[in-house]
A and B are shown apart, each in its own frame.
Chain A
Amino acid sequence: MKEVVVLSGKGGTGKTSIVGAFAALARNKVLADCDVDAADLHLLLSPSMREEHEFWSGQVAEIDPDRCTRCGLCEETCRFDAIHAYQVGRIGCEGCGLCARLCPTGAIRMKDNLSGHWFISDTRFGTLVHARLGIAQENSGKLVHLVRQKAKELALHEGADITINDGPPGIGCAVISSLSGAALACIVTEPSLSGIHDMERVLSVCRHFVIPALVCINKHDMNEEGTQQIENYCDSRHIQVISRIPFDPRVTEAQVQGVSLLEYTDDSYITAPIEQAWEAVRVRLDGKASGGP
């Protein structure tokens, strides 16, 4: 069982639309939405929820006003500036517990924190594991880890060969958590200066964690010069560019209808490059090709 994660660096390059199309193409897989901050894959898959679970993670300090003597030690020692006027700000508190250990009257208690929810759902393309991090919560990396773990367990249970993971934008905590230990990263980029800049950074993260990566250029015709720049960059680093997908308003139209692009149209102008991308991912996962960063 192997995991492929779709990343981009920059947001809005088309990760989720492409994962939605991969979902229609791939056989024998489990899907995982690792963008727990702003999960959107379910909007294409109309999932019916099989299981819902709470995600408890970390703690938050709470001051008992009856026992507090207003000595101010907690506020003074908090490195996160989370305590003001003998009250703990839920959002600033990182749950380190220093204040609770130092409080001379034992007025501070650490409370477990409900950080979000995660779900197992059935979709017409198979099982989907997804999650929703609570508003302004921390620990997105841990929730991503949990989503991946459950997806892997379900894949083993169902006898699936792969999990396809829709990743978050950026390069930080949630991306590292989505990427570490995966068999392959598929980087969806676009030929804008920001898209290229961000692709380079996320490819560096792949290199840092020694995860092989492929590049898929979306909306390649918006800037052919930029597309050439991406290809030159990838060539010089022996990174395979697996497909060039044109800009096509039908990608958005499919999203409005709440379906995968491949259910919305069978016009090979847009479907062929996506099929080509999936084929390249599949071949690489099967180990029939080598190379990469």
Chain B
Amino acid sequence: MVISIASGKGGTGKTLVATSLALALKDTMPVMLLDCDVEEPNDHIYVKARLTRTSSVAVPVPHVDESMCTSCGVCQNVCAFNAIAVLGSSVLVFKELCHGCGACTRFCPVEAITEVPHEIGVVEEGVADGFLFVDGVLTIGQPMAPPVIRKVKQRGVRDGVTIIDASPGTSCPVVEAVGGSDFCLLVTEPTPFGLHDLRLAVETMRELGIPHGAIINRAGIGDTRTEEFCRSEGIPILMTIPFDRRIAESYSRGTPLVEALPEYRQQFVELFKRIREHVT
């Protein structure tokens, strides 16, 4: 079973939920944790992962052999992303804009273009305490996270439970991370920002057709509108974590919730049971 963790708003506690869920389940089933927030991957800090293998993530970008190029301009015309431009007798490639679709290479009439790998990030693999761990790291200055996320997800195994920590927001990196999940946990908080972004996250899950439920973190701050929204929209609230300064302080020092306050371990086991009921 693949369970993804998303939120809309950032900082609501995705990483807290993903790491604690992995730690609570690892003794009873095979667990794999995939940190797909490749712009800001943090899970490794909390689960103290020992990363033993790093592999490059590259997208194919065009390389133009100028001795063969006739400056005809076909490559520029077929590129939908303005990533290749003919200027006089030379061709400029803007690697950061290239999506790697291969159109320029395919349509070059004199076969002057070949594709070369352009590294945009890495995938790191290893083990945490009792489970497999993979994360992706987008290289500084690179805009495109989805290919790195795709590569992280290719490492996922299907037996047992695979937990995917997504990035905040609702656009392509989130869609890439949560796609194919059996269930998505939407972590929110009872504030106007939390509610506003939860609505967007719910719309995203509906568009993608992924079953989902909410976790309300820092309950007690803010107001009750987030809870009311969930009830009126029929979104199950699968767990509530009260605001507790002890949680915030120990978490800020890198201690996962289930280790700082072991009474939460059973709650995460129960959470998993509830998710399983919704999936089957």
- Beta-carbon nearest neighbor of A177 in chain B: B143
Picked from A12, A176, A194, the residue with its CB within 8 Å of the CB of B9 is: A12
Interface string of A53-83 (1 = CB under 8 A from B): 0000011000000000000000001011000
For residue B104, give the distance in angstroms from its CB to the closest CB of chain A: 10
Q: Is A96 in contact with B192, judged by CB distance below 8 angstroms? A: no
The segment from B26-34, B39-47, B258-266, B267-275 that touches chain A is: B39-47
Which of A79, A98, A193, A252 has a CB less than 8 Å from the CB of B252?
A: A193
- Tell whether B141 is near chain A: CB-to-CB under 8 Å: yes
B191 touches A96 (CB 8 A): no
Kindly state the separation between the CA atoms of A122 and B45 in the bound complex, as whole angstroms: 43
Bitwise, A171-201 to B at CB < 8 A (1) or not (0) is: 1111111000000000000111111011001
Which chain A residues have a beta carbon within 8 Å of chain B's beta carbons? 8-13, 16, 37-38, 40, 43, 58-59, 77, 79-80, 91, 94-98, 101-102, 133, 135-138, 140-141, 168-177, 190-195, 197-198, 201, 204-205, 208-209, 222-223, 225-226, 249, 252, 255-256, 258
Q: Identify which of B7, B140, B168 contacts A171 (C-beta below 8 A).
A: B140
CB nearest neighbor in A for B179 = A91
Q: Which of B106, B144, B171, B174 has the most CB of A within 10 A?
A: B171
Q: Which of chain A's residues has its CB closest to B255's CB?
A: A193
Q: Does B126 contact A (CB under 8 A)?
A: no
Please state if A172 and B252 are interface contacts (CB–CB under 8 Å). Answer: no
- A101 and B102 CA atoms in complex are apart in Å by 12
A38 surroundings in chain B (CB, below 8 A)? 8-10, 168-170, 196-197, 200
Q: Which of B189-216 contact A (CB under 8 A)?
A: 191-193, 196-197, 200, 203-204, 207-208
Which of A43, A176, A177, A193 has a CB less than 8 Å from the CB of B254? A193
B140 contacts A98, C-beta separation under 8 Å: no
Query: What is B's interface to A at a CB cutoff of 8 Å?
Result: 7-12, 15, 37, 39-40, 42, 45-46, 78, 80-81, 99-103, 106-107, 138, 140-145, 167-175, 179, 191-193, 196-197, 200, 203-204, 207-208, 221-223, 245, 248-249, 251-254
**Set of chain A residues within 8 Å of B106, measured between Cβ atoms:** 77, 98, 102
A to B CB contacts below 8 Å, 15 in the list: A11-B11, A11-B12, A38-B9, A38-B168, A77-B102, A96-B81, A97-B103, A98-B78, A141-B143, A172-B39, A174-B169, A190-B252, A226-B252, A255-B192, A256-B191
